[in-house]
Amino acid sequence: MSTLLPSLHGQPEALPTDSRAVKRCDQLGAHPFSDTQDGLFRAYLSDAYKATCTQVAQWMHEAGMTSRMDAAGNLIGRYEGQTPGAPALLIGSHLDSVRNAGRYDGMLGVMLGIEVVAHFAAQGLRLPFALEVIGFGDEEGSRFPTSMLTSRAVAGTLDALPLDTVDANGTTLRDVLHSNGLDPARYLEAAYKPQQVLAYMEAHIEQGPVLEAANMGVGVVTAIAAQYRFKVSMQGVAGHAGTMPMSLRKDALAAAAQAIAAIERIGASGPEDLVATVGQLCVGPGASNVVPGQATFSLDIRAGTAQVRDKAAAEICAALHTIAQQRGITLALERQNDLPPTPCDPDLTERLATSVARVTGHTARRLVSGAGHDAMVMAALTPVCMVFIRCKEGISHNPAEAVRHDDAQQALLVMLDFIRTLAASPAQEPTEFSA
């Protein structure tokens, strides 16, 4: 069976309904493409990463691209446009993974980019712009205590390289780069100039349940959420569980429990894109017969706009201060992360939404991404847009991560239609791309 998509020349192009992109993600989900024998873990510039780059580069060549590894260790394939050296539409996501990962987070976007190029190459079509598929090396930050290191290098927002930072084995980033034939002094040369780039498009699994709940295979991202991350410490008084009267206790864990309930209540009271999460909790002294004297927990607040995030953060902080005061607990709030929202480009998003409607026959579902993506970094370089793909039960960063073949093919159809309309736009004539 096949699905038809109008081509640039008006003739239908056939696509199989079985997704080669999904199959390739499955192939890359085990040793030697994983640093562990059981499950998937692919760390930046590890042996598994190098094996993955070798295999993905081969697929890029088969699709009609040339390939290269840039100064930051990103894998880049290029399919020239009608004019050699024309600016490129970048299609990308990441090759690295978290520990005990799923097979589609990041990688599916790269595989779909290769399928896009393979399709146009098979039709013998050259566009007014080049196509470049980028497999970013370090999005997750699962080897070094950094994240999006390599997309920041490409976007030109990395001011300095943390060369002395070490991985779990105590190996510095400097040594890892040298052992992979990369010169730390040239790392920032991975940066693109704005005039080299038309836009950036990323296809990614949703990593959430919204599309599945709506029974939709694909959606359009309108923004990547603003984020605050806090460390919350509550200091009470430890005491004997049998001799300390309830009325005289300053129980830090009980205060934390009340605080966490307040966080959940405030997070649920806002718009759909607002979320508030406590993911870590540490209690001291941690004995069954001792009233807890200390509780420390994480607080993650995200929303599609800074205004919504900031309002929720203010309400949560006020609630925590009230709880601490009422219970005689000392409260300390330390903000550890402050990420602004990243709106996707309105024009590109509308084009994507139109393509989704044309391919699926339904109005596109628009979503705010609560998770971070390379697109949020690339927005500093060029306009960005994102396609979300349904994943089973919204599960991600987990071996149970799963996608449907027909959803991946639907995303491919959307990407092809989007590129076709972008190429046909009067604003994208070849004369617009002179350097």
**Is residue 232 located within the same domain as residue 298?**
yes
Query: Was 99 annotated as part of a binding site?
Result: no
How much is the pLDDT for 5? 47
- 426 band by pLDDT with thresholds 50, 70 and 90: very low
Query: Was 420 annotated as part of a binding site?
Result: no
Q: Where is the domain boundary, 321, 339, 357?
A: 339
Peptide bond into 32 cis (omega under 30): yes
Here the tokens at position 383 are 């306009």
Mean pLDDT of 127-148: 94
**Is residue 112 located within the same domain as residue 132?**
yes
- 432 band by pLDDT with thresholds 50, 70 and 90: very low
389 CB neighbour count, 10 Å cutoff: 26
How much is the pLDDT for 145? 84
Q: Is residue 6 predicted with pLDDT exceeding 60?
A: no
| pTM for the model | 0.83
**Is residue 232 located within the same domain as residue 132?**
no
pLDDT, tens digit, for every residue of 277-316?
A: 999 999 999 999 999 999 999 999 999 899 999 999 999 9
What is the 8-class DSSP label of residue 188?
G
Q: Where is the domain boundary, 316, 339, 362?
A: 339
Query: Was 175 annotated as part of a binding site?
Result: no
**Is residue 144 located within the same domain as residue 194?**
yes
| CATH number of the domain within which 31 lies | 3.40.630.10
How much is the pLDDT for 204? 98
**Is residue 64 located within the same domain as residue 183?**
yes
How much is the pLDDT for 14? 59
**Is residue 166 located within the same domain as residue 200?**
yes
Instruction: State the chain's mean pLDDT as an integer.
Output: 93
CA–CA dist 23, 204 (Å, integer): 16
Q: Where is the domain boundary, 298, 313, 339?
A: 339
**Is residue 385 located within the same domain as residue 248?**
no
Give, in order, the Cα–Cα distances in Å from 11 to each of 5, 7, 354, 359: 8, 5, 20, 16
Helix (H) or strand (E) segment spanning residue 117: helix 107-122
Give 249's contacts (C-beta < 8 A, 6+ positions apart): 236, 237, 239, 291
**Is residue 27 located within the same domain as residue 96?**
yes
Is the separation of the CB atoms in 390 and 212 below 8 Å?
yes
Q: Is residue 258 predicted with pLDDT exceeding 50?
A: yes
| CATH number of the domain within which 243 lies | 3.30.70.360
Query: Was 362 annotated as part of a binding site?
Result: no
pLDDT, tens digit, for every residue of 173-189?
A: 999 999 999 999 999 99
CA–CA dist 186, 18 (Å, integer): 42
Query: Was 215 annotated as part of a binding site?
Result: no
Pick the residue with more confidence: 85 or 431? 85
**Is residue 85 located within the same domain as residue 44?**
yes
CA–CA dist 307, 300 (Å, integer): 16
pLDDT, tens digit, for every residue of 200-230?
A: 999 999 999 999 999 999 999 999 999 999 9
pLDDT, tens digit, for every residue of 46-60?
A: 999 999 999 999 999
How much is the pLDDT for 104? 98
**Is residue 332 located within the same domain as residue 345?**
no
Query: Was 180 annotated as part of a binding site?
Result: no
What is the count of structural domains for the chain?
2
Mean pLDDT of 116-120: 98
Query: Was 309 annotated as part of a binding site?
Result: no
* % of the chain exceeding 90 in pLDDT: 89
Query: Was 139 annotated as part of a binding site?
Result: no
Supply the range of the domain harboring residue 325.
Answer: 226-339
CA–CA dist 52, 63 (Å, integer): 16
* % of the chain exceeding 70 in pLDDT: 94
How much is the pLDDT for 185? 96
**Is residue 168 located within the same domain as residue 254?**
no
Residue type, 10: G
**Is residue 259 located within the same domain as residue 356?**
no
